[in-house]
Amino acid sequence: MAHKRKLEKDIRCPLEYGLDVFGGRWKSRIICVLAAKGTLRYSELRNELSNISDAVLSNEVKELIASGMVSRKSYDEIPPRVEYSLTEKGISVVPILQNICQWAGLFTREVTDVAPTHCKTCDYHARKA
């Protein structure tokens, strides 16, 4: 007897797609760092982020590449050199992330007594805009 699917293929709203592509703890940070710093090697990207393991960073970067947000360029050199940068699609999400950051900064005081500190990449983008 053949396996029959219980549910139809998941049809998600565009917001769910967006949150899947750039949501979570690290993907938006990776995008912001690449937007602020431009093209980076893996070690440079890791140094810009704090408290992230190599396994998590590697997985998040692979997912961003698969979703078309980040490009990976490898050079035929010894030692091998690989660089990461935002694609046009990745660049297009930066203003959205800036708006989320600004919104969160306005309402963080409702949940905590401590004033939020903006990350340097958000400040960088605010100055560029």
What pLDDT digit, counting tens, does each position of 83-99 carry?
A: 999 999 999 999 999 99
Any domain includes 49: yes
**Summary mean pLDDT of the chain:** 83
Sign of the CA dihedral running 54, 57, 60, 61: negative
**Angle (CA) 86 92 98, round 5°:** 100
23 in a structural domain: yes
User: Do the domain assignments include residue 6?
Assistant: no
Classify residue 106 by its DSSP letter. H
* Per-residue pLDDT, 5: 60
- Domain-embedded: residue 4: no
Q: What is the pTM of this model?
A: 0.77
pLDDT of 47 strictly over 70: yes
Q: How many domains does the chain have?
A: 1
User: Does 20 or 42 have the greater pLDDT score?
Assistant: 42
Residue 8 maps to a domain = no
**Is residue 102 assigned to a domain?**
yes
Give the end-to-end CA distance of the chain in Å, rounded to a whole number.
60
- Examine residue 60 and state whether it is found in any structural domain, yes or no: yes
If we measure between CA atoms, which residue out of 53, 93, 50, 51 comes closest to residue 70? 93
Check residue 126 and give its pLDDT.
44
Parent domain of 29: 14-128
Q: Which residue has the tokens 């100055």?
A: 127
73 belongs to a structural domain: yes
Q: What CATH number is associated with residue 69?
A: 1.10.10.10
